[in-house]
Structure 1
Amino acid sequence: MASTATVPQEENNEEVKQKNVIADGRNRRVLQDIGNFVNERAAQGKKPITEGVAAVAQALKRGGGAVTKVVVAQRKVVDKLKHETVIVISSDEKTEKSRNVARREESSRKEVRTLTSILSAQSKAVCGLTNKPKDSIEDIDGADVGNELAVTEYVDDIYKFYKLTEDEGRVHDYIDLQPDINAKMRSILMDWLIEVHRKFDLMPETLYLTMNIVDRFLSMKVVSRKELQLVGISAMLIACKYEEIWAPEVNDFVFISDNAYVREQVLAMEKAILDKLEWYLTIPTAYVFLVRYIKASIPSDDKMEDLVFFLAELGLMQYPTVVLYCPSMLAAAAVYAARCTLDKSPLWSETLKHHTGYSEDQLLNCAKLLVKFHSTASESKLKAVYRKFSTPDRCAVALLSPAKSLLSNHCGELF
């Protein structure tokens, strides 16, 4: 009795499932081609496939043998349909007409000039940008499109902002305001800081920020000769905290200065510097421009890069260079002087002119100064930069012959 009671229940469940399948099949009118195919078969007096599904449901009521017969018959119908040619009803003429209409609309859109495009074109014409040969300006960011850290969508705007704001952190003539310090003492301090930077194996950004912090603080506050080194190590401590992942500790700077100062003095000077600068540390130093301009100097290699940094650090060592030239011009002049030293052709390309914003004539005086420093580096008593770039890991660029085309006697008049 138990077994006979369960059989009708299973049959009822299967029947409900099949009815749901049939109902779902009726609602699934997704592709027009399938609908065309089914209608065409019905018009020819042949049974649609859905009738076979209903037959299976009816066979379930009659028993297993009937189901088998229906399934076999259904397979024969499917096999027969596979070998028949299916004609898909579609209007090629309508498709072609829609394509032509889309092309006409697209061409009409191209001909329409918006007010924004007109104003942009007029603005470029006034600035003289339309006369630039676009083909001669190479895309230096094309290889970094997939690199999210390169921010290729915004990098040009970022450097435009750097150039607009670089004067805010620029150092102006201050040496006459310091009764106990002169330009030579400043160079000695910078030479020592370059050695400290190298011993601690710090990031290059840290060195350039340190130099800027020292100069800006000296331009705001009178410092005695005994405190000058204290200003240097405190400025580097601040720059390390800003740029480095693992910054040296205060005791490391006390030790490197041969215990000339105690910990409390370093912390007090650090606080004094930050108060005077009003915590304004996010400034475009020469380093940010050097990285960009080296990239625009095509072709560029390790030798070219090291030579540019060598010339730039020689320039930052000297007080007149820092006062006379802004960071972007110093960086561009270092690239130009390096290309002249390595006999690159052309010496100044349209790509470099586009990204730096400087012409060859504008950079000539600064480049001559840098080459002058290069020619006297081996004989100078301050040899930190020279030793740093004489090693094989820096391609020994300090040992290269200076660019003779840029050497002139008038450079020495500034000293």
Structure 2
Amino acid sequence: MASRRQWGAGAGAVDVPAQERKGGKAATDHLLRAFFAVFFVLEGLSWRRRRRRDGEGVFLLRYVACLLCLQAAKIARRPKTTTVVAQQPPRIRRALADVSNLVNGRAALPVVNRQKAAAAAADKCRKPIKQRNENNKAAKPEVIVISSDSEKHKKNPAQRAASRRAPIQTLTSILTKCSRASDGVISPKKELIYDIDASDSHNELAVVDYVEDIYRFYRNTENTYRPLCTYMVSQTEINERMRAILTDWLIEVHYRLMLMPETLYLTVYIIDQYLSLENVPRKELQLVGVSAMLIACKYEETWAPLVKDFLVISDNSFSRQQVLSTEKSILNKLQWNLTVPTMYMFILRYLKAALGDEELEHMTFFYAELALVQYSMLFFAPSVIAAAAVYAARCTLGLSPLWSDLLEYHTGLAEPQLLECARRLVSLHAAAPESRQKVVYKKYASPKLGAVSLHSPAKKLLPPPSPVAA
């Protein structure tokens, strides 16, 4: 079929019939297929030799390159398709009708309706404003009338009370009131001038921001962990004298092993708490004391003594297995609760508030260790004994004042509340030289500890001498 030439209106292009274009395309496809068929046949015949000569990597690369060439030839022969977008007449934007750039937008409103639409839109905008104005009229603002002083006196008490502004209760004020009400020992006090924690403000371990809360917590919870002051009634084979002998011996062991003070006070607490819960035979009392000190050393000391050290000190009165078995029994009875407020914790705080010297410190600890030996001192709480020890030490050394406002603030105890316990401590001091348990007296008679036990007891706190019969 002969080809026809069609001339465009102004382009001058020749339109080749579709059947001729298809024939040329098919011939080109046949030629390419024949070329690649011959190429792959030749490659297949010599692939062993090429693989042996060039290696597998080069051969595979050549093979992949041939495949890519074949794919590129196919892509090049694909007809290019163009999308012709029908031209539309340009849109003319009309004011107040359609200001969008959408292709299929709504038609512009007639000019006749523009004024009505604008008026309707204005009415819609005015209605909420009118409603708001009506609401504002309903809630009239309160008018503050400034009156003279004479008119103020004419008001009745109800009007004056209503005019006053009620105090605002904030969460902080409520929590502060609850905190003060929960602590029975805190009452409205004078503002203290001296801050005993100012020197430790840069010491993070001193926790200056929380130290008051910590000691308030200790005072509130010390009665929860106190051993019974009447547990000797339930003991069948031991008595107060045996406990005093054991405690006196443990103080000597503690001093010889150069242990920390916290260890001694925790040891005595563990013994009393265990005896409050368990009936102990007489022959096992020393074993309980050694096991209690071993537990306290493990809790407080950096380097705790070994079990064999306690066996040697106790003259091998029991075996290693007995010590470990008793240690386990004590911990189970105490439910592994060893974090308790002891007397030593309160003494440290109260000595800081006393603003005393080293002699006052030694005298206070002398009275505290005298209290450890005596079973009758379990009647008092650890915080009370600690405060009474500071008070008795100040009385013995003749310091003035005997009890300051600073001490009363930090202990929560007034001077009359300490007299009974302080009198007992001074009585123990007076009887110490003639007592059978002299370890504490001899310990604090050494110059290393200021020889404070050699001071005369405070006569103010001693009972009056009994009249001598004629």
- Determine whether 1:154 maps to 2:207: no
CA distance in 1, matches of 2:420, 2:396: 15
Match of 1:325 in 2: 380
Instruction: Verify the 8 A CA contact 1:230 1:261 in the aligned structure 2.
Output: yes
**334, 338, 344: which is aligned to 2:389?**
334
Relative to the length of structure 1, the TM-score reads 0.68
Match of 1:141 in 2: 197
Q: CA deviation at 1:245?
A: 0.5
Q: CA deviation at 1:121?
A: 7.6
**Counterpart secondary structure, 1:377:** helix
Q: Kindly tell me: are residues 256 and 121 of structure 1, through their superposed partners in 2, closer, same or farther at Cα, counting changes over 3 Å? A: closer
Q: Kindly tell me: are residues 211 and 365 of structure 1, through their superposed partners in 2, closer, same or farther at Cα, counting changes over 3 Å? A: same
Q: CA deviation at 1:168?
A: 2.1
Write the mapping of 1:165-314 to structure 2, written as runs, cut at 5 A. Answer: 165-172=221-228, 173-298=230-355, 300-314=356-370
Q: Kindly tell me: are residues 120 and 377 of structure 1, through their superposed partners in 2, closer, same or farther at Cα, counting changes over 3 Å? A: same
**Counterpart secondary structure, 2:272:** helix
CA distance in 2, matches of 1:218, 1:327: 18
**332, 352, 360: which is aligned to 2:407?**
352
Q: CA deviation at 1:122?
A: 6.2
Q: Higher Cα Rg: structure 1 or 2?
A: 2
Q: CA deviation at 1:355?
A: 0.6
Instruction: Verify the 8 A CA contact 2:186 2:412 in the aligned structure 1.
Output: no
Q: 1:338-368 CA deviation, whole Å, 9 max, x = no partner?
A: 1111111111111111111111111100000
Q: Kindly tell me: are residues 292 and 128 of structure 1, through their superposed partners in 2, closer, same or farther at Cα, counting changes over 3 Å? A: closer
Q: CA RMSD in A?
A: 2.0
- Opposite residue 402 of structure 2, the aligned amino acid is L
- Determine whether 1:401 maps to 2:441: no
- Determine whether 1:387 maps to 2:463: no
Write the mapping of 1:357-368 to structure 2, written as runs, cut at 5 A. Answer: 357-368=412-423
Q: CA deviation at 1:114?
A: 6.0
Q: 1:21-41 CA deviation, whole Å, 9 max, x = no partner?
A: xxxxxxxxxxxxxxxxxxxxx
Alignment gaps of 5+ in structure 2: 1-166, 466-470
**Counterpart secondary structure, 2:329:** helix
Q: Kindly tell me: are residues 145 and 259 of structure 1, through their superposed partners in 2, closer, same or farther at Cα, counting changes over 3 Å? A: same
- Opposite residue 199 of structure 1, the aligned amino acid is R
Instruction: Verify the 8 A CA contact 1:206 1:236 in the aligned structure 2.
Output: yes
Q: Kindly tell me: are residues 272 and 134 of structure 1, through their superposed partners in 2, closer, same or farther at Cα, counting changes over 3 Å? A: same
Instruction: Verify the 8 A CA contact 2:185 2:412 in the aligned structure 1.
Output: no
Write the mapping of 1:84-123 to structure 2, written as runs, cut at 5 A. Answer: 115-116=170-171, 119=174
Higher relative contact order (CA 8 A, sep 6+): 1
Instruction: Verify the 8 A CA contact 1:124 1:130 in the aligned structure 2.
Output: no
Aligned residues: 296
Instruction: Verify the 8 A CA contact 2:368 2:386 in the aligned structure 1.
Output: yes
Higher relative helix content: 1
- Opposite residue 319 of structure 1, the aligned amino acid is Y
CA distance in 2, matches of 1:293, 1:372: 22
- Opposite residue 236 of structure 1, the aligned amino acid is M
Q: Kindly tell me: are residues 252 and 124 of structure 1, through their superposed partners in 2, closer, same or farther at Cα, counting changes over 3 Å? A: closer
Q: Kindly tell me: are residues 305 and 128 of structure 1, through their superposed partners in 2, closer, same or farther at Cα, counting changes over 3 Å? A: closer
User: Equivalent pairs: percent with the same residue?
Assistant: 54
